[in-house]
Amino acid sequence: SQTIHQWPATLVQPVGSPLSLECTVEGTSNPNLYWYRQAAGRGLQLLFYSVGIGQISSEVPQNLSASRPQDRQFILSSKKLLLSDSGFYLCAWCGGTHLSPLHFGNGTRLTVT
Amino acid sequence: DQQVKQNSPSLSVQEGRISILNCDYTNSMFDYFLWYKKYPAEGPTFLISISSIKDKNEDGRFTVFLNKSAKHLSLHIVPSQPGDSAVYFCAAVLSGSARQLTFGSGTQLTVLP
């Protein structure tokens, strides 16, 4: 069966520091991969998605970037964090047909101080 | 511009009764709709979905209804249980897209024992 791993679970970083969040998927090949963010009291906002290695689409211009160095690995990065980057970051994957649901990891709670 | 809206931020229901969560959308190009359940500090869990070619899909205690002319969908939970207490998100997928989900802002369901 497929599983998705996301780490770390929580992270506290100072303003101006770099960020790297990693997500890996097991048990499937060539998945679509996604990064979402949930700000406090808000819904889930799509940040990036990828349909293949090295293919990244950005939905919202911001201080973050994403990379997909391997088929089942998706990384969210920032060179210099802002206070507004605080939030709950979720990685997700889907595969198969158009009617396949997205499956989410357990998320990373990022607090920028 | 919110394309998927959940206008009720919260809902309280007595155990054993029916819970009805509502969702409206504006983009007629959405062709697949999903409901997710989310507990604090966890990723959303997929519950049930419906394709735009159907008007109803049922899975155990969960039923999703789609009214395309009204651009409205609803999730019915019968009977409601205390373990159903969580935030429920509806989400939609654009036809021909890479299955990026557009989420509503969520409804906090509380089932009272």
Contact (CB, 8 A) for B15 and B112: yes
SS (H, E, C) chain A: CCEEEEECCEEEECCCCCEEEEEEEECCCCCEEEEEEECCCCCEEEEEEEEECCEEEECCCCCCEEEEEECCEEEEEECCCCHHHCEEEEEEEECCCCCCCCEECCCEEEEEC
The CATH number of residue B67's host domain is 2.60.40.10
Residues of A with Cβ-Cβ distance to B103 under 8 angstroms: 36, 43-45
| Number of independent structural domains in chain A | 1
Chain A residues in contact with chain B using a Cβ-Cβ cutoff of 8 Å = 6, 32, 34, 36, 42-46, 49, 51, 57, 59, 88, 90, 92, 94, 98-107, 109
- Report CA A111 to chain centroid distance, whole Å: 15
Tokens read off for A102: 């997205």
- Total domains in chain B come to 1
Interchain CB distance below 8 Å, B101 and A59 = no
- Domain ranges, residue A66: 3-112
- Residue B46 tokens read as 């997929």
CATH of the domain at A45: 2.60.40.10
Residue B73 lies in domain: 4-112
Tens-digit pLDDT string for chain B (113 aa): 689 999 999 999 999 999 999 999 999 999 999 999 999 889 999 999 999 999 999 999 999 999 999 999 999 999 999 999 999 999 999 887 877 889 999 999 999 99
